[in-house]
Structure 1
Amino acid sequence: MPNPGAPPPPGALRTHLLGALPGATASGARVLRALLDDPAGAAQLTVTGLAGRAGTSEATVVRTARALGFAGYPQLRLALAAAAGGAGGGAGADEPIALITGDLAEGGDLGAVVATLAALEREAVTATAAALDTAALAAAAAALAGARVVDCYGVGVSALVARHVDLGASRLGLLSRLRTEPHAALVSSALLRPGDAALVVSHSGRTREVLAAAGRARERGASVVAVTGSATGPLARTAEHVLVAAGRETAYRAGATAGRASALFLADCLLAAVAQRLGAPAVAALRATYEAVGEREGRR
């Protein structure tokens, strides 16, 4: 599980900033957005300058730096400068940072809306892949592959990702149960036991319904695997294995689109790792289910 009190590894600062947004206060979010919009420029600012740019106080800037795992703002500035120096132009010469991180403008050109959404999804998946800890991925896959039963929890948009994992796990031959209704998730989690696993999806990491089910599953001794957009949220603290999906919400929920794309990407990585761990039985299960679906559809 990631250490919420530690700074991000080199090359993962942007993902770390994106992951901190869902749980930030309003003033803290303004600081994070100022850093995301212009990391190279922010690296040149004093704490007073950044506070002015974000429209908040110096104390908020310092608290935000510490919440990100840095000893203080000077250490965050060094990380920003290093990230800007190694970014090779950031998002690209014809893709300004504002396009990728900004909200959609009301009444804007539809082509610009499409470009913004494409950029958000592209960056979210790229950032998620860059920051993905393969050791954590392997541990999460081992928990699912060896489980007697796998419960999949998620509500709202996150239910789509949970459903994706449930279908994929079933096709690999695992006993998987999708629980996207809160009471059903609580009932199911109360019956889990050691050797079982719960796959819990929440972009914010704070959804009460899935947090309750995740907590109950952990109390029952089951392994809890989280797919979340916040490495420091309550779900990450509850889970045994944490996979972090980059992507943030905006006024028009473009971030929800990006967050869903990166969460689905993580789900595919997890399912691939499970299949790799299971080996021949997974191949046989995939072949059998593929043939069953093909026969049903009249495939030749």
Structure 2
Amino acid sequence: MKEDFANRSVAGRPGSRSGPPGPGALAAKVRTMAPSMTRSMQRVAETVAHDPAGCARLTVTGLAERTGTSEATVVRTSRLLGYPGYRDLRLALAGLAAQQESGAAPAVTADIAVDDPISEVVSKLAHDEQQTLADTAAALDTTHLEAAVSALTTARRVDVYGVGASSLVAQDMTQKLLRIGYSAHSHPDPHVAVTTAVQLQAGDVALAITHSGRTVDVIEPLRVAFERGATTIAVTGRPDAEVGQYADHLLTTSTARESELRPAAMSSRTSQLLVIDCLFVGVAQRTYETAAPALSASYEALAHRHAPRQR
């Protein structure tokens, strides 16, 4: 059985990065964290994201006055975004402002409208997808990513949990691992997921995929796996949510701005797939001598299946 929860899960919790996010990751952190913040903290986060140059010149008191909040709220917001204090956030704001002035930071585009021509829909979706991928890459904690890859590489068995749109991502990860010889299973049925999680033990890995971080049907099997001794990994857009309590390694995804025509389930899928691909490629790199022949064999088997049959 596991050691104490508080001692074991600290590695996966928000704030465990080796240093504060750089300027490139600040806007991504705001987009990811703002929906789960209090209204007063949202005002601070959205203000610094929309006007980094102006806010970088403000003291903590000045920013509190501009946002109609308190100094304590400004400091709490800074810490939630990954900065030890407001001084560190100001430095990141100055860096972000410099990036925007140089054109390195892209401009925000409008949401897709009902009457947009299809060419405009393509352009806006392409921009949002690119931004989501860039935000996810900038905010991804490579220390936890490396640790997660290590756990997967030596895993006796891998169970992957996801429901709804996330179940498609879970199936993608399972299929990838199966093709290089791993014992991998995805369980979209929550009852099956929990009953199989009971069978996990030390040396196994449980991977949960949930954008909200609050999906009970995903959290429950991860909790059971955690208690049984498996190494647990969570891929989520809300690192402060409940799923983080049961994750040894927490991998944060970013999401494009939600709109009526593009809900979170659609926009989160792109960033989840990026993280899954990073995990898989990392495992394939470390097991190259066996992974490469396995992939070649699967390609050949599929090619043979689709080749014209000889009579």
Could you tell me the TM-score, scaled by structure 1's length?
0.85
In the alignment, structure 1 residue 113 sits paired with structure 2 residue 121: yes
Note if contact 1:248-1:256 (Cα within 8 Å) is conserved in structure 2. Answer: no
Q: Which residue pairs with 1:279 in the alignment?
A: 288
For the structure 1 residues 157 and 37, does the alpha-carbon distance in structure 2 shift closer, same or farther, using more than 3 Å as the test?
farther
Note if contact 1:214-1:224 (Cα within 8 Å) is conserved in structure 2. Answer: yes
Q: Which residue pairs with 1:31 in the alignment?
A: 44
Q: Which residue pairs with 1:293 in the alignment?
A: 302
Aligned-residue offset at 1:114: 3.0
In the alignment, structure 1 residue 63 sits paired with structure 2 residue 76: yes
Secondary structure at 2:251 match in 1: strand
Note if contact 1:21-1:248 (Cα within 8 Å) is conserved in structure 2. Answer: no
- In structure 1, C-alpha distance between the alignment counterparts of 2:283 and 2:297, rounded to whole Å: 17
Q: Which residue pairs with 1:9 in the alignment?
A: 21
1:89 alignment partner AA:
G
Q: Percent identity?
A: 42
- In structure 2, C-alpha distance between the alignment counterparts of 1:52 and 1:118, rounded to whole Å: 38
Secondary structure at 1:216 match in 2: helix
1:81 alignment partner AA:
A
Secondary structure at 1:283 match in 2: helix
Could you tell me the TM-score, scaled by structure 2's length?
0.82
Aligned-residue offset at 1:33: 3.0
Select the residue among 85, 91, 115 that pairs with 2:105: 91
How many residues are aligned here? Answer: 293
Note if contact 1:2-1:242 (Cα within 8 Å) is conserved in structure 2. Answer: yes
In the alignment, structure 1 residue 191 sits paired with structure 2 residue 199: yes
Q: Which range is displaced more, 12-21 or 169-178?
A: 12-21
For the structure 1 residues 27 and 296, does the alpha-carbon distance in structure 2 shift closer, same or farther, using more than 3 Å as the test?
farther
Aligned-residue offset at 1:39: 2.6
1:78 alignment partner AA:
L
Q: Which residue pairs with 1:125 in the alignment?
A: 133
Aligned-residue offset at 1:73: 3.9
2:78 alignment partner AA:
A
Q: Which residue pairs with 1:175 in the alignment?
A: 183
For the structure 1 residues 38 and 112, does the alpha-carbon distance in structure 2 shift closer, same or farther, using more than 3 Å as the test?
farther
Instruction: List aligned pairs for 1:239-250, cutoff 5 A.
Output: 239-248=247-256, 250=258
Structure 1: 5+ residue stretches without partners = none
For the structure 1 residues 43 and 29, does the alpha-carbon distance in structure 2 shift closer, same or farther, using more than 3 Å as the test?
same
Aligned-residue offset at 1:113: 3.5
Note if contact 2:213-2:238 (Cα within 8 Å) is conserved in structure 1. Answer: yes
